[in-house]
Amino acid sequence: MTEQLSAKDWLDQGLKVLAAKGFTALKAEPLAKAMGVSRGSFYWHFADIGAFHAELLARWREVAAEQVITGVEAAATDEPPLAVLLRRTFSGRLALEKAVRSWAATDAGARNAVQAIDRRRLDYVASLIAAEGVAPGIAQARAQILYWAFLGFALSDRPLPRPQHEAVIDELIRIALHKP
């Protein structure tokens, strides 16, 4: 590699490795080898592997929550923002989501990051539902139901055929935005 790597380069590589191989593969030496550099480059940006893990979890939050929210809010469609969000999140590959949640089962830092992103996502979804005229308490309950559906989807290994998948998303949208 002729260019100097940035911390973001390391973090993006870490997210790829995490999604593909799991959290046990997040070690300086194999990451450096995959990137064609020495471990010195890693330690230039991170004090130790723990610091890298903490920054990696922050980068995951940025990618898996904040960038998604920004994209939904920037979308210019005729659909309600919740529909845009559901179509996007239920259509993506979610290996990274599964890997971070697996990591959280054994690591307090990862668990805290997952809990924080869950809260952020739930609050955002509830706000989108409430913005459509659904009472706040009902919006919060529906947000939780949608989030449980998302987690089931993210952790599932059995994709649905495309027409059935789209029908499920359409029904989730209908249920979430139905005004009692």
Domain boundaries, the chain: 7-177
Q: Is the pLDDT of residue 2 over 70?
A: no
Q: Is the pLDDT of residue 52 over 60?
A: yes
Q: Is the pLDDT of residue 26 over 70?
A: yes
pLDDT at 158: 85
Instruction: Over range 84-105, report the average pLDDT.
Output: 94
Q: Is the pLDDT of residue 1 over 50?
A: no
pLDDT at 3: 63
Q: What is the pTM of this model?
A: 0.91
DSSP class of residue 65 equals I
Q: Which residue has the tokens 């987690």?
A: 151
Domain 7-177, second-level architecture: Orthogonal Bundle (1.10)
- Phi, psi dihedral angles at 77 (to 5 degrees): -130, 170
Instruction: Over range 17-31, report the average pLDDT.
Output: 95
